[in-house]
């Protein structure tokens, strides 16, 4: 009786290396969509079973190219909408009330989170980490605050810090 020897090789590989298409980012190997050449054992025992890569067939490569084109289009649309929001924000101002002494020094301070809340109340969803303050606002006055909505979309908004209305 002759037994068939089970093949453990990866389809499309040679004995020394195999080309795989990364399905996810793998540290020290590459980004999602990259085609990399690895040892067959690394592909067979780690990348393929954990779903980190697939065999780099022409069909898979075409699918990745189509997916990347869609991502580029989505990013263009997103940038366009963020530029519209940035334009509106540059014409917008925020008025914030704060308790202050006679010299105009605030008893507390106004930070990015406070400005973000005021912008959200005004209909602009700007996260606190997108607000670029050089430090907390500690005095009454008008400030021009820089906003970064995206690495390519930056704008400014005017923030008025006024004394809190006294309750009678």
Q: What's the pLDDT tens digit per position in 2-34?
A: 554 444 455 555 568 999 999 889 998 998 888
Sorting pLDDT into bands at 50, 70 and 90, what band is 114? very high
Cα–Cα distances in Å, from 118 out to 16, 25, 107? 61, 38, 19
pLDDT of 148 strictly over 90: yes
Instruction: Specify the domain boundaries for CATH 3.40.5.10 within the chain.
Output: 18-79
18-79 CATH, one of 3.90.228.20, 3.40.5.10, 3.40.630.150, 3.40.50.300: 3.40.5.10
Residues 6+ positions from 89 with CB-CB distance below 8 Å: 119, 124, 126, 147, 155, 156, 157
Sorting pLDDT into bands at 50, 70 and 90, what band is 116? very high
Asked whether the whole model's pTM tops 0.75, one would answer no
Instruction: Specify the domain boundaries for CATH 3.10.430.100 within the chain.
Output: 84-163
Asked if 89 contacts 83 with a C-beta cutoff of 8 angstroms, the reply is no
Q: Interior CA angle at 82 toward 77 and 86, to 5°?
A: 150
pLDDT of 50 strictly over 50: yes
pLDDT of 75 strictly over 80: yes
**Domain topology for 84-163:** Ribosomal Protein L9; domain 2 (3.10.430)
Q: What pLDDT shows up at residue 32?
A: 86
């Amino acid at each position: 009786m002759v037994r068939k020897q089970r093949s453990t090789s990866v389809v499309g590989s040679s004995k020394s290396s195999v080309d795989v298409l990364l399905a996810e980012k793998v540290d020290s190997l590459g980004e999602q969509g990259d085609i990399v050449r690895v040892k067959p054992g690394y592909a067979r025992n780690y990348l393929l079973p954990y779903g980190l890569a697939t065999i780099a067939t022409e069909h898979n490569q075409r699918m990745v190219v189509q997916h990347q084109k869609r991502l580029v289009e989505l990013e263009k649309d997103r940038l366009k909408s963020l530029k519209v929001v940035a334009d509106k924000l540059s014409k917008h101002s925020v008025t914030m009330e704060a308790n202050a002494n006679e010299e105009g020094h605030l008893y507390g301070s106004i930070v990015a989170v406070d400005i973000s809340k005021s912008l959200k109340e005004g209909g602009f969803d700007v996260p606190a980490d997108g607000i670029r303050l050089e430090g907390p606002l500690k005095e009454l006055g008008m400030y021009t605050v820089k906003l970064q909505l995206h690495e390519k979309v930056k704008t400014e908004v005017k923030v008025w810090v006024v004394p809190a209305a006294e309750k009678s």
